[in-house]
């Protein structure tokens, strides 16, 4: 079970990066093209973006350069993600980062010259080009925060340095940390990031689960001060950038590109912390009773409600669930799902150095790529459905929109992914009346979809907000401060129903999202939208599906509020969120009743 080297994994369990570049020679040739295109662009347009016509002419060539950069950047990032221990991948990534910093600096004049154009020229260009309307609108929006062109050039030149904390975090986490074996029941078991998060954290054996937890967090503790300093460097960079650009707070700076105001952000955190907590404490109590656990601890929260019923699923068997559950999305979507398997879009392998968790990368002009470490549980099917939701989103948006219009606000990004988890659960529930099966499905959606997005990520968001409040007040953070903040959030949410034992406060070390702005809260925001839309699909069928497909195709041409409205959800009020919290409470009600029914039938 220990992680094997990347060289030992089966080819069929890996993604096919040849669709990006057939060879390293092709990749290097692309870099040469980018260098030449950037030089040509700079020579042609620097000092010459003077009106709507020249702006649109330059934008066409600017977009063409980005369409060449995106596959190259994706290639580099995916190679690093599949094996962080590979020194060639590390060096390739560093070289690409340097090239992008140099290229960004050389082309930084363009956005500066655009922002210096008279407002009427920018508006005229917007009227003349639907393709670049959103891009130009954003130039106008950001105009008050644009710095002197030479300052922008310097910042662009330092981009790889400014991004270094995230790279340092990954190297510390995935290369330097070597987890020792742990002992339980007289046996030795291997441990790693992927093994802990994919296997041990949900192991039904309480002794083994807690022993793995103890060993895992003891190793994290060895690196807490380095990781905290790395994070503080990232935070101070964001604060300095926010101040330089004239934002009142870091929150305003980070929410600006999301096109979301502070009210929507705070509401998501405050309501869930207050109103979801009582439901999840009931769920924790249910787990405790079913498993006969003496006291519920943080290490026990992810144990399955009915682990003996958990089916093992092979990669091949996952096709049946994925195809049947998501075919409601139509023939074109089904074809995309089929292609994802046939053309090896997904990296399923478990190997040493592989990035933890799962993600979908959707390079413009190429098909999406998915990373997952397949352990064979039904949870993996839900995770795969989630990532295929991202894939389906950009499969549609990238075909319908230009390179600058395809990506929506971060606030909306998790709605299509969590939608697929809803569709998976609805499909499974529809196909059985067996109480134990129904309980297993509902428990899966509570433990995986809602726990992960409405609890794990939301608690990260609540903690992250406290961190940024310190940074806005001119303070810094270290390991002690971060541990205290994280423990406080966990204790506030779980109350006296769950013991937050030693080590839990280090959970902040596990999440790369902290290096991606105000990302964690968007999971619950997206799931709020997808919960409401999945109810529409159950009630209305094809018309609701068609509305949703239109939303996917719209990409980034609408704000989050507008996209939600297209799908029939009004996120300007708290009604969708309150209804979703009530829905989670109802699911836990059903789990309690089904457990009583199953227990009574067993005793009879």
Question: Does 254 lie in the same domain as 135?
Answer: no
Single pTM value for the model: 0.87
Q: Is residue 333 part of a domain?
A: no
Last residue in a domain, options 162, 184, 217: 162
Structure tokens belonging to residue 382: 């839900």
Give 166-223 pLDDT, tens digit per residue: 999 998 998 899 999 999 999 999 998 888 988 899 999 999 999 999 999 999 999 9
Question: Does 591 lie in the same domain as 481?
Answer: yes
pLDDT at res. 430:
86
Give the three-class secondary structure for 264.
helix
Give 514-542 pLDDT, tens digit per residue: 999 999 999 999 999 999 999 999 899 99
Given a contact cutoff of 8 angstroms between Cβ atoms, the answer to whether 275 and 575 are in contact is no
pLDDT at res. 604:
58
Give 20-75 pLDDT, tens digit per residue: 999 999 999 999 999 999 999 999 999 999 999 999 999 999 999 999 999 999 99
Stretch 369-381: mean pLDDT, rounded?
91
Give 450-480 pLDDT, tens digit per residue: 998 889 999 999 999 999 999 999 999 999 9
How far apart, in Å, are the Cα atoms of 460 and each of 70, 194, 493, 508?
30, 20, 12, 7
Interior angle at CA 124, CA 120 and CA 127, nearest 5: 140
Question: Does 435 lie in the same domain as 289?
Answer: yes
- Residue 104: which CATH number? 1.20.140.70
Given a contact cutoff of 8 angstroms between Cβ atoms, the answer to whether 316 and 10 are in contact is no
Q: Is residue 373 part of a domain?
A: no
Last residue in a domain, options 162, 191, 216: 162
Res. 557: pLDDT tops 90:
yes
Structure tokens belonging to residue 371: 């990373």
Report residue 161's pLDDT band, with 50, 70 and 90 as the boundaries.
confident
Question: Does 303 lie in the same domain as 156?
Answer: no
Give 264-303 pLDDT, tens digit per residue: 999 999 999 999 999 999 999 999 999 999 999 999 999 9
Strand partners, 377: 312
Res. 1: pLDDT tops 70:
no
- Of 309-323, 431-445, 462-476, which one has max mean pLDDT? 462-476
Question: Does 129 lie in the same domain as 23?
Answer: yes
Stretch 84-107: mean pLDDT, rounded?
93
Mean per-residue pLDDT over the chain, rounded: 93
Locus of tokens 């919960």:
531
Q: Is residue 114 part of a domain?
A: yes
Q: Is residue 301 part of a domain?
A: yes
- Residue 412: which CATH number? 1.10.1370.20
Question: Does 256 lie in the same domain as 158?
Answer: no
Give 472-485 pLDDT, tens digit per residue: 999 999 999 999 99
Segments forming the whole domain that contains residue 131: 6-162
Among 459, 470, 409, residue whose Cα is nearest residue 249:
470
The DSSP output letter for 173 is I
Work out how many domains the chain is built from and give that number.
2
Q: Is residue 460 part of a domain?
A: yes
Res. 259: pLDDT tops 70:
yes
Question: Does 147 lie in the same domain as 274?
Answer: no
Res. 305: pLDDT tops 80:
yes
Question: Does 585 lie in the same domain as 486?
Answer: yes
Q: Is residue 237 part of a domain?
A: no
Give percent of the chain with pLDDT exceeding 90.
85
Q: Between β-strands 359-361 and 346-347, what pairing exists: parallel, antiparallel or unpaired?
A: unpaired
Question: Does 525 lie in the same domain as 419?
Answer: yes
Alpha helix ranges (H) inside 117-261 = 119-128, 133-142, 149-157, 159-162, 164-171, 193-198, 206-222, 224-244, 250-256
* Residues 6+ positions from 150 with CB-CB distance below 8 Å: none
Question: Does 388 lie in the same domain as 262?
Answer: yes
Locus of tokens 């478990």:
350
Q: Is residue 194 part of a domain?
A: no
| Alpha carbons within 13 A on the beta-carbon side of 274 | 8
pLDDT at res. 572:
92
Last residue in a domain, options 162, 181, 201: 162
pLDDT at res. 193:
86
pLDDT at res. 550:
97
Res. 577: pLDDT tops 90:
yes
| Residue 263: CB atoms within 10 Å | 10
Res. 408: pLDDT tops 90:
yes
Given a contact cutoff of 8 angstroms between Cβ atoms, the answer to whether 179 and 212 are in contact is no
Phi, psi of 191 (to 5 degrees): -140, 150
pLDDT at res. 2:
60
Stretch 561-590: mean pLDDT, rounded?
95
Res. 106: pLDDT tops 90:
yes
Report residue 357's pLDDT band, with 50, 70 and 90 as the boundaries.
confident
Q: Is residue 175 part of a domain?
A: no
The DSSP output letter for 445 is I
Res. 253: pLDDT tops 90:
yes
């Amino acid at each position: 079970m220990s992680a094997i080297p990347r060289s030992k994994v089966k080819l069929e369990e890996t993604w096919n990066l040849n669709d990006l570049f057939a060879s390293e020679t092709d990749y290097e040739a692309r870099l040469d093209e980018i260098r030449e295109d950037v030089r040509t662009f700079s020579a042609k347009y620097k000092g010459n973006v003077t009106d709507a016509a020249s702006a649109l002419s330059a934008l066409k060539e600017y977009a063409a350069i980005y369409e060449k950069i995106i596959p190259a950047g994706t290639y580099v990032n995916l190679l690093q993600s599949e094996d962080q221990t590979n020194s060639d991948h590390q060096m390739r990534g560093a070289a690409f980062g340097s090239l992008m910093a140099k290229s960004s600096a050389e082309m930084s004049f363009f956005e500066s010259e655009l922002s210096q154009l008279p407002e009427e020229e920018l508006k005229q260009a917007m009227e003349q080009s639907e393709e670049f309307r959103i891009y130009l609108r954003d130039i106008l929006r950001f105009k008050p925060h644009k710095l002197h062109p030479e300052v922008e050039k310097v910042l662009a030149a330092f981009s790889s340095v400014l991004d270094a904390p995230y790279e340092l975090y990954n190297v510390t986490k995935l290369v330097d940390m070597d987890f020792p074996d742990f002992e339980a029941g007289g046996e030795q078991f291997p441990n790693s990031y992927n093994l802990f998060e994919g296997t041990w954290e949900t192991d039904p054996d309480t002794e083994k689960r807690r022993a793995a937890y103890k060993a895992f967090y003891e190793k994290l503790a060895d690196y807490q001060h380095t990781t905290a300093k790395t994070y503080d460097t990232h935070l101070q960079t964001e604060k300095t950038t926010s101040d330089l650009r004239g934002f009142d707070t870091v929150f305003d700076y980070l929410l600006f590109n999301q096109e979301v105001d502070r009210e929507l952000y705070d509401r998501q955190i405050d309501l869930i912390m207050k109103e979801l907590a009582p439901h999840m404490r009931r769920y924790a109590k249910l787990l405790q009773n079913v498993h006969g656990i003496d006291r519920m601890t943080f290490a026990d929260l992810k144990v399955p409600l009915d682990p003996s019923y958990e089916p093992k699923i092979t990669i091949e068997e996952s096709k049946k669930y994925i195809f049947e559950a998501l075919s409601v999305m139509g023939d074109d979507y089904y074809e995309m799902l089929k292609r994802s398997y046939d053309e090896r879009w997904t990296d399923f392998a478990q190997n040493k150095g592989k990035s933890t968790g799962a993600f979908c990368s959707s390079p413009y002009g190429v098909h999406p790529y998915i990373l997952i470490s397949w352990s064979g549980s039904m949870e993996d099917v839900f995770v795969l459905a989630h990532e295929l939701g991202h894939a389906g989103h950009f499969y549609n948006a990238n075909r319908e929109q230009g390179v600058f219009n395809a990506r929506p606000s971060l606030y909306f990004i998790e709605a299509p992914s969590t939608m697929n988890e809803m569709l998976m659960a609805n499909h499974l529930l529809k196909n059985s009346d067996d109480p134990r099966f129904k309980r297993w499905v509902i428990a899966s959606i509570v433990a995986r979809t809602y726990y992960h997005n409405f609890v794990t990520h939301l608690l990260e968001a609540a903690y992250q907000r406290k961190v940024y409040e310190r940074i806005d007040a001119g303070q810094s953070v270290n390991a002690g401060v971060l541990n205290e903040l994280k423990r406080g959030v966990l204790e506030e949410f779980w109350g006296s129903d769950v013991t937050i034992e030693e080590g839990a406060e280090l959970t902040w070390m596990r999440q790369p999202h902290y290096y991606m702005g105000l990302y964690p809260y968007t999971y619950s925001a997206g799931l709020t939208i997808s919960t409401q839309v999945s109810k529409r699909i159950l009630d209305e069928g094809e018309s609701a599906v068609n509305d949703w497909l239109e939303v996917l195709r719209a990409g980034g041409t609408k704000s989050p509020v507008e996209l939600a409205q297209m799908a029939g959800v009004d996120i300007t009020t708290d009604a969708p969120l309150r209804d979703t919290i009530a829905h989670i409470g109802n699911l836990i009600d059903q789990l309690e009743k089904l457990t009583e029914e199953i227990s009574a039938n067993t005793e009879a």
